[in-house]
């Protein structure tokens, strides 16, 4: 006896197949940030900080509060490694309180905190740091993989740089990384780069600021991040260098040629 396979059955099968495809989270979401009445903004930037108040974190937080009041800051930017050493275990991990909520208590720091992930954050339950549930604990916390903060005069483009680094996949040195939302990696990186380039080209903000955890070029012990040099830097050069040449032509003898 032959079996019937109608349109309804086909749609159910397609739905099941799609549900089995890993969800990529590279798309950029835009967050609107209020600015001062005169059109200006001011903000603090911090990175590699989540140490449960130790290693002078509390002292730095105190000074941040003083500077934040003096500058009348609008928000705080975190470049990642928000929770050492191995991220958060769950949304109930006391590390969130010990490293963030109970540390940055100055009135001037009660503003939105925009956070991108670092490599240490990926060593724990990465979905915990990304969970909106943390905002019910502390409403300042706004953490996503890659996203845009639109502050009118400036747009900040937060880029999830950890998945770009080959060593975390090929030689993790005994560390366990939570790659949920990233696999398949190649597709994730392609989507991130494409969305970043499109967003930068479409931006009409006077200031465009790209934020990530890993330095493209650095004189520190870690050195340059070769994966970002080869994949991210060319995009930034193509978009930003023509503007720099127009503003300061004497800094550039010839306009560089780019090949992809």
Per-residue pLDDT tens digits for 8-37: 544 444 444 444 444 556 579 999 999 999
CATH class of the domain comprising 23-214: alpha beta
- Cα–Cα distance measured from residue 86 to residue 125, given in angstroms and rounded to the nearest whole number: 9
Specify the pTM.
0.85
How far, CA to CA in Å, does 35 sit from each of 132, 152, 260? 24, 8, 38
Could you state, in order of their start, the residue ranges of all structural domains in the chain? 23-214
Q: Which of 120, 213, 214, 222 is catalytic?
A: 222
Our answer to whether residue 222 is catalytic in this structure is yes
In tens, the pLDDT along 147-187 reads: 999 999 999 999 999 999 999 999 999 999 999 999 999 99
How far, CA to CA in Å, does 235 sit from each of 28, 207, 238, 240? 16, 17, 5, 9
pLDDT classification of 242: cutoffs 50, 70, 90 = confident
Pairing of strands 147-151, 154-159: antiparallel
Q: Which of 21-25, 78-82, 100-104, 125-129 has the lowest mean pLDDT?
A: 21-25
């Amino acid at each position: 006896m032959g079996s019937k396979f109608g349109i309804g059955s086909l749609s159910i099968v397609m739905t099941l197949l799609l549900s089995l495809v890993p969800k990529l989270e590279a798309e950029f979401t835009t967050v609107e940030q209020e600015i001062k009445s005169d059109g200006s903004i001011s903000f603090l930037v911090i990175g590699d900080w989540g140490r449960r108040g130790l290693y002078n974190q509390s002292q730095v937080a105190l000074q941040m509060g003083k500077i934040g009041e003096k500058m009348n800051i609008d928000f705080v930017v975190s470049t990642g490694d928000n929770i050492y050493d191995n991220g958060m275990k769950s949304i109930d991990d006391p590390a969130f309180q010990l490293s963030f909520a109970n540390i940055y208590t100055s009135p001037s720091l009660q503003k939105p905190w925009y956070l991108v992930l670092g490599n240490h954050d990926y060593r724990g339950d990465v979905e915990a740091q990304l969970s909106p549930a943390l905002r019910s604990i502390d409403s300042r916390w706004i953490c996503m993989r890659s996203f845009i903060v639109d502050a009118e005069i400036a747009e900040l483009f937060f880029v999830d740089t950890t998945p770009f680094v080959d060593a975390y996949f090929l030689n993790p040195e005994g560390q366990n990384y939570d790659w949920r939302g990233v696999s398949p990696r190649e597709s994730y990186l392609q989507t991130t780069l494409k969305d970043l380039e499109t967003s930068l080209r479409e931006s009409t903000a006077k200031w465009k600021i790209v934020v990530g955890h890993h330095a493209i070029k650095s004189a520190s012990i870690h050195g340059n991040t070769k994966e970002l040099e080869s994949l991210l830097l060319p995009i930034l050069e193509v978009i930003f260098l023509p503007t720099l040449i127009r503003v300061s032509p004497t800094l550039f003898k010839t306009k560089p040629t780019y090949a992809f």
